[in-house]
Chains A and B, each alone.
Chain A
Amino acid sequence: MDALRVEGVAKRFGALTALTDVNLHVGRGEVLGLLGDNGAGKSTLIKVICGFHRPDAGRILVDEVPVVLRSVDHARSLGIDTVYQDLALVNELSVYHNMFLNREHRIGPLLNNRLMRRLAEEHLREMGVDIPDVTVEAAKLSGGQRQAIAVARSVYSAARILLLDEPLAAMGAKEATIILDLVADLKARGDVAIVIIAHNYAQALQVCDRVAILQQGRITFDRPTAETSVAELTDLMVADYRGRRRAAGG
């Protein structure tokens, strides 16, 4: 049974067609790599699945049940959580407030800062992320640390469908390994379906079970990683780029 199924989804922004008849699916314990050039529609697709944008056509099924996602909150209530490309961190807030943003622990009307601090420290330690003080503002962190916090926030939200929009961007080699190991651990758990957008094909093949390529708003390739290679994926992307250049030129 698929944890997430997207059928015939389309999305337009004015005259711009971002997605056309997109179909994809991912099961529990499966990692789907979503590849594509800049502007191919990957982030738009993620934002449709997480309830940020409403699709103009098509439907989304969670555990084979059709759902109309009214908001990010609604998607979250169905177990869909997202690490956005822009990370969605608030520079002015502390690390632990960012980690629990919009799902704060409270005692009555007051924030339970002590509990959130402790949990943030535990989660980051479990992930192997080195942030000495979770009370510092997010503005003071490095790019990799910020990415790690954004990932930790979603991973520890008890998500059943996890969408990662370029989680390895701005990461050093060590930090990227931490994230890839985390994805591998989640996959091994077997109860989370993961969609991961990546630009590094080698990393995508390392951690994903299947890869799909989104080109000009359409899924043009969907195959198990065992049946493809970095070379093939690169050739497909280059061919698409050349095709678009030719079309633009003539």
Chain B
Amino acid sequence: MSVAVDKPGGPALARRAWTGFIRRREASVLVVAIALVVYFQASTPLFLTDGNLRNIAQATAPTAIVAVGIVFLLVSGEIDISVGMVAALAPYLMHYAIDFYGVPAVPAILLALLLAALVGLVNGLITTRLKVPSFVTTLGMFYLLYGILLTTSKAYPVAIPSSVKGDLQTWLGAGDWASLSWCLLVVVFFHLVLTRTRWGLHTISVGGNMLGATEAGIRVNRVKVGNFMLVSTLGAFAGLMEAFRINSIDPNIGGGTRITFTAIAAAVIGGTALAGGSGTVIGALLGMFVLAVLQNGFNLVGVSANPFFLIQGLAILVSMIANQYLSRLRRAGGS
């Protein structure tokens, strides 16, 4: 007969570890991500293969980069639904600069990013100065950019300019792991910005208590405008990366609102509050990973693509409910 002996401190250590875990905003989505990986690997041996992981990485990376910007904007209490159209327009801006005005490749890419930042600036100024709700501002901007895109491109896809082809294209998206590498770089950098810098602290303050932040002397409009510019620039970068990867500049990059809504879904699933004040970049990456794994896993196990949106909708609802529950646990757990 064996006798179970409690090690001194064992249960307390486990309790501390559990409390520490549930205090993390990414906790619930991490559990879901691991469960999905285990489930799909058990269902099909193709899941954890090099080729399939590359597929997931390429599907995840551009939207995850947009989600990083969306996290900053949501945390500061605003939203941008025009970012998908910025992603679609940016490769065309590069193409126009190179093929119509003879701008060299790298300055043309930088110009596209700069113009995207300008779109963010306009969104930010309209929202903060003219007090137009950001949903409405960016809805208007979405259609405005869509009109510019269709008018100037005549809705035709074009080839990647020849001056971009080669190493530049490989490094910026066409390489096997290029998009994932950029994505991880962006995630790590902006995770540090949100959690370890003044800008991150002020972003949380502005979304958490705008009056309090103003009274503390924080320039709330500057923080908000900055985050509008950030999300637009990251949207443009994601669009350029995707164009380099598919080796074509297509007005359907980003699928209209698809990239925007998927990025918002990833941020929300990852624990970012729509009301502002809290959110995590790592959580958004995990949220995006969950959505990509779901879609990829369904394909592999032979489930029709049609119910995917049903599952995505349920994932958003379940994750929100789980986040509410974990938030209550965090508060009850106290210090």
Contact = CB atoms under 8 A, between A and B. Distances in A.
Q: Select the residue from A86, A102, A136 with max chain B CB neighbours within 10 A.
A: A102
A111 B194 CA distance: 11
Among the interface residues B196, B209, B215, B278, which one has the most CB atoms of the partner chain A within 10 A? Answer: B215
A76 B208 CA distance: 22
A115 interface: no
A110 B212 contact: no
Contacts of B219: 71, 73
A92 B278 contact: yes
Contact of A90 (B192, B196, B277, B335): B277
Given A71-B217, A90-B277, A140 B204 contact: no
Given A91-B277, A92-B278, A111-B201, A72 B209 contact: no
Secondary structure class of chain A's binding surface, majority of residues: loop
B197 A110 contact: yes
Chain B at the A interface: mostly helix, strand, loop or mixed?
A: helix
B298 to A, nearest CB: 36
A107 to B, nearest CB: 10
Interface residues of A, number: 30
Contact of A140 (B207, B218, B334): B334
A75 to B, nearest CB: 8
Contacts of A140: 331, 334-335
Nearest to A104: B198
Contacts of B208: 90-93
A86 B60 CA distance: 43
Nearest to B206: A90
Nearest to A153: B216
12 contacts: A71-B217, A73-B219, A88-B213, A90-B208, A92-B204, A92-B207, A93-B204, A102-B216, A104-B201, A109-B197, A110-B192, A135-B335
B211 A88 contact: yes
Interface of A: 52, 71-73, 76, 82, 84, 86-93, 97, 101-102, 104, 106, 109-111, 113, 132-133, 135-136, 139-140
Nearest to A134: B335
B216 to A, nearest CB: 5
A101 B197 contact: no
A77 to B, nearest CB: 9
A67 to B, nearest CB: 16
Given A91-B209, A93-B204, A136 B217 contact: no
A110 B201 CA distance: 11
Contacts of A84: 212, 215
